[in-house]
Structure 1
């Protein structure tokens, strides 16, 4: 038997920036008068479709009601489009990649105007 390990294949995972709109659901943790929220997420996946599926699944497990997901692409794609990406955002993207995770970076509740 050989003690040599196979070299680890480079990960095909990439991190995608997703904007998820959620509706209200009991126990969702949103402020009482909020009608929903927008969540800026960084999610790892081999493609954007996988990142979206994983994000929606995790958000449903967290008792939220995902309604719509808009993808903004990978870090490289966003840079090509001229998006300004600060160090904190880059660190969260790296964390999502390192942990093969979905990171909710920002929550913006929606309120109806009366």
Structure 2
């Protein structure tokens, strides 16, 4: 696992609480409050979605929420920008295929 533990702006991140996220059915450790994309990269997950037409893999690109390369289905909601969405314990994250699909009964109103 590769993770930045000391950051010039964010400071020392070693004391942050660890949580568990579920990615494509498997549990992974993450630091509370870090962005989903950072947690995925720290766990060596680099493909976040596949394009609709040519089914090409995509991952992090801009890292600031301006593009859509990092979108994934999160807790049943498609098209979540993982570079600007913080993790929380028990979050369910799925690789997105194409435009994504709302999971019946899983979306929150």
Alignment TM-score, normalising by the size of structure 1: 0.22
Structure in which a larger fraction of residues adopt strand: 1
Structure in which a larger fraction of residues adopt helix: 1
Q: Which has the larger radius of gyration?
A: 1
**Higher RCO (Cα < 8 Å, 6 or more apart):** 1
Alignment TM-score, normalising by the size of structure 2: 0.22
